Amino acid sequence: MLTIRQMRYFDALAATLHFGRAADIVHVSQPALSAQIMEMERHLGVMLIERTRANTILTAKGQEILAHVREVLAGIDRLEHAARNNGGTLEGLVRIGIIPTVAPYMVPRMVPYLRARHPLIEIELKEAVTDRLLSDLNDGRLDAVVAALPVEADNLTCRSLLIDRFFMAVADNDSDVLMSPLVEADVDADRLLLLEEGHCLRDQALAVCKTASRRSMVNFGATSMATLLQMVSHDMGMTLVPEMALETEVNRNKIRIIPFTEPQPYREIGLIWRRSSARHADMDALADGLAASVRGNSDMA
């Protein structure tokens, strides 16, 4: 008989393509996970995983079955939530995905704010790039995603949380003369540092600096805003920084912040959830809480 445990183990293995990491995710030993996957393959009569010394690969049949498994697991999660939910707003588990250029600055305010107002909430957070979070949202592994808008998808609902203006960060001992406020066309793209591919802030930075020459743009992809600003503070270049990061990053780095001329470039941060979700009231309450927390609302009744 195919079991929920086997499906959860297979889902973890498909997500990591590594038996050890998958075992850690589901909190079992690697041999136990491997044995359950083999039992699942025997029951279904197909090979789900191609095992080599170098890596672990999903077979074509494994890819096909994975989609069905994730659909089943999403339904089970909805069933368990319905059983736990006694009608209160934001009670029980809420799984939230947040993009890396928002998470470090929103989470320290968001979590205490939500717990103070919804004491029965259980918050589970995941930080990843937008595409990965939206995939998890569509597969039912997340309840909501905080990311930059717009997100174009007919099956998703979006609600704006805040407008986050962009500034330019340079080293505080930078020898270049930059006018303040800064005109976007005056950005020296030869010194522009960017996040690695997959981060929406990379695309936004390129869009802001679209009129600048890119003959020799710095070929370095950082994994976090903190890394970029460390590089900037050591006079290795300049980078675009969102307003929500200023309070934290200016205090920890030797950088100078230069505003842009009006109209200032910005990104819109929003909350995204499935249109088919039964938790619309929860998501509206969550959006209210997130928006209030990042505004610095101090009413912690």
Q: Report the CATH number that the domain containing residue 145 is assigned in CATH.
A: 3.40.190.10
The predicted pLDDT at position 166 comes to 87
Indicate if 39 and 62 belong to the same structural domain: yes
The predicted pLDDT at position 300 comes to 36
> Under a CB-based contact definition with an 8 Å cutoff, are residues 129 and 200 in contact?
yes
Residues of the chain predicted below pLDDT 70: 81-88, 174-190, 196-199, 201-204, 206-223, 296-301
pTM score, whole prediction: 0.67
| Sequence-distant contacts of 222-231: CB under 8 A, at least 24 apart | 222/193, 222/194, 222/195, 222/196, 223/100, 223/195, 223/196, 224/100, 224/195, 225/100, 225/101, 225/104, 225/195, 225/201, 225/249, 226/104, 228/193, 228/194, 228/195, 229/169, 229/253, 229/255, 231/193
| Sequence-distant contacts of 44-51: CB under 8 A, at least 24 apart | 44/2, 48/10, 49/13
Dist. CA 301–CA 299, nearest whole Å:
6
The predicted pLDDT at position 213 comes to 43
Report if residue 300 sits inside a domain: no
The predicted pLDDT at position 94 comes to 93
The predicted pLDDT at position 237 comes to 80
Report if residue 77 sits inside a domain: no
Indicate the Cα dihedral angle 89, 92, 93, 99, nearest 10°: 30
Indicate if 157 and 190 belong to the same structural domain: no
Report if residue 88 sits inside a domain: yes
The predicted pLDDT at position 37 comes to 95
Report if residue 299 sits inside a domain: no
Report if residue 36 sits inside a domain: yes
The predicted pLDDT at position 241 comes to 87
Report if residue 260 sits inside a domain: yes
> Under a CB-based contact definition with an 8 Å cutoff, are residues 110 and 292 in contact?
no
Domain of 15, in residue numbers: 4-71
Indicate if 272 and 259 belong to the same structural domain: no
Give pLDDT tens digits for 130-154.
Answer: 899 999 998 888 999 999 998 988 8
123-134 per-residue burial string, b: 16 or more CB within 10 A, e: under 16: beeebbbbebbb
Indicate if 23 and 60 belong to the same structural domain: yes
The predicted pLDDT at position 212 comes to 46
The predicted pLDDT at position 230 comes to 86
Q: How many domains does the chain fold into?
A: 3
Indicate if 177 and 248 belong to the same structural domain: yes
Dist. CA 266–CA 241, nearest whole Å:
10
Three-class SS of 170-233: EECCCCCCCCCCECHHHCCHHHECEECCCCHHHHHHHHHCCCCCCCCCCCCEECCHHHHHHHHH
Report if residue 128 sits inside a domain: yes
Report if residue 301 sits inside a domain: no
The predicted pLDDT at position 194 comes to 76
Pick the last residue of a domain from 50, 71, 92: 71
